[in-house]
Structure 1
Amino acid sequence: MGNDFYKKLGALFLIVSGTFYTAERIAAKAGYLPTIGRSGGYDVSPVYPQLTDNLFVWLFGLIGFVLLVFGFPKRNS
């Protein structure tokens, strides 16, 4: 496998990790909307998930970072 493959795979893992994290934050905000409707007011303090709460977010981020490191090897002269 070439270095280009590791770069692309690492970038893909990082993108998937970011997508999972963003989807979690959107779901937290969407889950908070009924609470706002019941209370009749708007409280801007929904509980957002931490980066380490979802195993897949940090695991895919770590795998993506490691693959990117392998994709950019040092050049020997």
Structure 2
Amino acid sequence: MKASQIIGALLGAFVVTLGLLWLLQGTGILRMRPILCIANCEEVVGPSPTWAAAGAVALIIGAIVVAVSVRHSGTP
């Protein structure tokens, strides 16, 4: 694998992980307090359709990036 393919796969895996976290928080399955706040940060109470949708989109985009990076690893 080329370095660009490895970086693409790692970046895609990071986006998948972040998207899964947002999706779980948005659906209310996972609850976390804010870790680093600059302004008035509050914990999201209950499900948030906006964060669930953002997580689903990030998860799909990250999976596509990983698939494209891995698929092109077999080409010379």
TM-score range normalised by the length of the shorter chain:
0.5 to 0.7
- Count of residue correspondences: 59
| Aligned residue identity for 2:74 | R
Query: Is 1:23 aligned with 2:25?
Result: yes
Quote the offset at 1:23 in angstroms.
1.6
Cα separation, partners in 2 of 1:19 and 1:76, compared to 1, 3 Å: closer
Quote the offset at 1:60 in angstroms.
0.4
Q: Which sections of structure 1, spanning at least 5 residues, go unmatched?
A: 33-47
- Higher relative contact order (Cα pairs below 8 Å, separated by 6+ residues): 1
- 2:68 is matched with which residue? 70
- 2:5 is matched with which residue? 3
Give the superposed CA RMSD: 3.1
Pairs within 5 Å for 1:27-66: 31=45, 54-66=52-64
Cα separation, partners in 2 of 1:19 and 1:62, compared to 1, 3 Å: same
Percent identical residues:
9
4+ runs deviating over 2 angstroms? none
Larger Rg belongs to: 1
Q: Which sections of structure 2, spanning at least 5 residues, go unmatched?
A: 32-43
